[in-house]
Structure 1
């Protein structure tokens, strides 16, 4: 099908603290568009500061979708985000859509399609981890070949993470991960005129921005956010409980870390996350428009 000039979307990817949200607001104001969250952690409520969701002031006058709409007790999968994004796309008519965030898989959903793998319960993951524990590369290869030869044939290397993922899906569903991969859905924006950009700030500038931003978060209520999250008594393995800043502030609240150490560790974790994001974008979005803010 050909692209319709009446359906337009702007995709803004980039590492954390690169200025994506500000650019999205600027474009949305200029085009009369709708901003759609494309970040796996900004979907959760409670953690507005620590996930760097736009503030109420920043959102004034501009529709924002899929921000803070999921309770932190939920394991919100890529497939669930895809269905929610599809509903947003269908409901906004021909208004320009500005997708902004740092989750590479969500951008894949928009531009290349996705495999809708069901959510895997923790017990299935734990069983898979127990199977893989202590195995070397060759033993992992033999294990996955015996348990799931379809996915084994697709693994370039039987590293622990990929083997555990495949076994967990098999444990939970009785089906090979390969079967879900083969049933890939079409890109959500296949009929759109799409502008793609990756914000790529100078490395040292980004390091400084990350440090300043987390210190500002800490001073503005991040501790209270974590206290509110802990009051929900949630499973520690949930994505929201692993958001950068939550483990560090939790350790501080328990007396295991001093305030300065908690901040330093969270800043280091954020910088490491930004590095992983850059690597993903370089590998998967090399043909996008790379912009130095």
Structure 2
């Protein structure tokens, strides 16, 4: 395929465990593309089992980008990820390759696809809020955020102290709600498409239980033990990952193994509902049933060709 500025940018979106990975591979094969990870945790080396990272042997020979680029000690921000992903997308399209974005981080996907300029930072404000986070915990700061920006509080998990701090920082330094700085529903490049994998809640809930059970069976506890030795607990971003924080609590003696497993299931279900809610509010997403016999054909038909 010759280089062309109209090579589409395709994002496969939807809830975790809905089947996005398989569809992304099918589309990459059909479109002559390569996969660009948009999962905030799959960028970390060694975070494999707990993020359901696709093993290299199962990638059908399709190149994958933005996997295993950071150590668990390294922080990562949406602004940084936006820059990394857009650089990869530019290179792929220059070579006539279709970027197929896939991952569970809804804000990362929107930041890449849409017009999104990030508000500045204030180191003094950030350090003060981070000190408060360490002192009183994320739940207290989340309640404060609910007071000043209810919409942002609704979108951010109580456990995600890093994003709560960022939201409070933006509110303080801009005098506006954090949600006012979120991306607008306008693609940065019009040759973009989002394909949503539509799945009913009972089926999704069952899949999440199966996925979590498989993670624990495949060695999630051993993976977390190894990563803690590599500095996971000190990593501001990686340490917040679902499954990893629950297993870390188990290893500290705070939870039984079964409690850690059950809390991982509950947190994953809650996360999946937030993902679905986020994407359902975007009218540009073309939703296709996960078990549709013509899933790939319908997805391809929804992608702009000019």
| Cα separation, 1, equivalents of 2:201 and 2:184 | 35
Task: State the alpha-carbon separation in 1 of the partners of residues 141 and 6 from structure 2.
Answer: 55
Instruction: Give the CA deviation at 1:31.
Output: 1.8
Larger-Rg structure: 1
- What root-mean-square deviation, in Å, do the aligned CA atoms of Structure 1 and Structure 2 show? 3.6
Gaps of 5+ in 2: 157-162, 291-306
Question: What corresponds to 1:168 in structure 2?
Answer: 169
Distance 2:142 2:178 in 1: 26
Contact 2:72 2:231 in 1 (8 A): no
Question: 3-state DSSP class of the match of 2:43?
Answer: coil
State the SS of the aligned residue for 1:110. helix
Aligned equivalent of 2:269 = 271
Q: CA deviation at 1:48?
A: 1.0
- Counterpart among 224, 232, 243 of residue 226 in structure 1: 224
Distance 1:73 1:108, change over 3 A: same
State the match for 1:111 in structure 2: 113
Spell out, residue by residue over 1:208-257, the C-alpha distance to the aligned partner (whole angstroms, 9 max, x if none): 11111111111112112101111023445722111111122122223333
2:206 — aligned with what? 208
Tell me the number of residue pairs that the alignment of Structure 1 and Structure 2 aligns. 271
Equivalent position SS for 1:195: strand
| SS in structure 2 at match of 1:7 | coil
Contact 1:109 1:188 in 2 (8 A): no
C-alpha deviation, 1:278, in angstroms = 1.2
- The 3 A distance-change label for structure 1 pair 128 and 9 is same
Asked if the contact 2:242/2:268 (under 8 Å) is kept, the reply is yes
Cα distance between partner residues in 1 of 2:206 and 2:179? 40
* CA shift digits 1:170-190 (9 cap, x unpaired): 88xxx5375999999999963
Q: Does 1:123 align with 2:127?
A: yes
Distance 2:20 2:217 in 1: 22
Match of 2:69 in 1: 69
SS of the residue corresponding to residue 8 of structure 2 reads strand
> Contact 2:195/2:285 (CA < 8 Å) preserved in 1?
yes
Shift of residue 30 of structure 1?
1.7
Where structure 1 has 5 or more consecutive residues not aligned to the other structure, the ranges are 142-154
Q: TM-score, normalised by structure 1?
A: 0.78
Q: Distance in 2 between matches of 1:39 and 1:182?
A: 23
